[in-house]
Amino acid sequence: MTFEQYFSVAPSATVATPGRVNLIGEHTDYNDGFVLPTVIPQTTVIQIAARKDQTVRVVSSNMQPAAVHTYTLGAEKKSGDWLVYIQGVTHILRTSGITIGGFDALISSTVPTGAGLSSSAALTVGLIKALREVFPFDLTDPAIARLAQRVENEFVGAHVGIMDQMAVCLAKPRQALFLDTRSLHYELVALPEQAGLIVINSGVSHSNIGGGYSARRRSCEEAATQLKVKALRDLGLADLGRLKPLGALLEKRARHVISENARVESAVLALKAGDLARLGQLFKESHASMRDDYEVSTPEIDQLVTIANLDPAVYGARLTGGGFGGSIVALAHLAEAPAAAKRIAQRYLEQVGKEPTILVP
């Protein structure tokens, strides 16, 4: 059904927001560190029209049966489904002093949920941008990213960093966003001409609203406190020797973050030099760190990464996103990436028995 069929009016604005894949820099954003995401072709599209009252009516064409959900501004409730993101946006905007009225919205998305590709950031950032169109308020894209992060942190209960929101706000196709999550200084870095990306959803669902993600964030905060730094970002490779007194668990968690920050900076240099072999090696090292030190991988993801790394067209592969399922990203030669993705997906299906989804290319 169309917007007009649902709401009997035409939309006054349409906003499309992409999902993202993180090339490297995992679990560094909430440690004030560096990240290097880029966008994927899949998008969340929001059609919207302002109302003259305080009623919000919203429908997602991805949910079956698609139904119109209604609530009143100021009466937002934390639900256990996708509506928590919609109500979180209106709650955070209102409590931040931003005036909005009621609205009708139709949401459709090709960004897969549970794949570690920022479906929630695409939704929340996209909705705030759509509301900016129909209730003109003066917010820059970085400011929108901060508000969208607050939606997840304060309303949804997912203690995510700022990477996803900044990535879907600012990154462009064939460009990586080199972001300092402390200062929010960023640089767009072009992907080398021959660089091809492969993104495959493992079929193992991922969520940031859970004990594993939050526990790792707490571990990082505890390590920083014991090491007397504001955040693990403030430590470098030369400081790894200081980690032993933390105990085995905190030592591993801190080592991942510190080494991952260094890998992001090395990856930027490799991108600028067009050194795909070096970038691929950094992907492999990042995955090993996430598997062994941060312990956020799964057997299925590890097998998918192994299969990808054995493919002759692939320079390197790694888990992307928060972990505990989701997707992998692999760096391949551009011309060979489509065929390589099909080979990897087929071998994964044969070896693991789960149906993967090729998202890129």
Active site amino acids: 164
Q: What is the 3-state secondary structure (H, E, C) of the chain?
A: CCHHHHHCCCCCEEEEEEEEEEEECCCCHHHCCEEEEEEEEEEEEEEEEECCCCEEEEEECCCCCCCCEEEECCCCCCCCCCHHHHHHHHHHHHHCCCCCCCEEEEEEECCCCCCCCCHHHHHHHHHHHHHHHHCCCCCCHHHHHHHHHHHHHHHHCCCCCCHHHHHHHHCCCCEEEEEECCCCCEEEEECCCCEEEEEEECCCCCCCCCHHHHHHHHHHHHHHHHCCCCCHHHCCHHHHHHCHHHCHHHHHHHHHHHHHHHHHHHHHHHHHHCCHHHHHHHHHHHHHHHHHCCCCCCHHHHHHHHHHHHCCCEEEEEEECCCCCCEEEEEEEHHHHHHHHHHHHHHHHHHHCCCCEEEEC
Contact between residue 39 and residue 19 where contact means Cβ atoms under 8 Å apart: yes
Cα dihedral 202/204/210/213 (nearest 10): -30
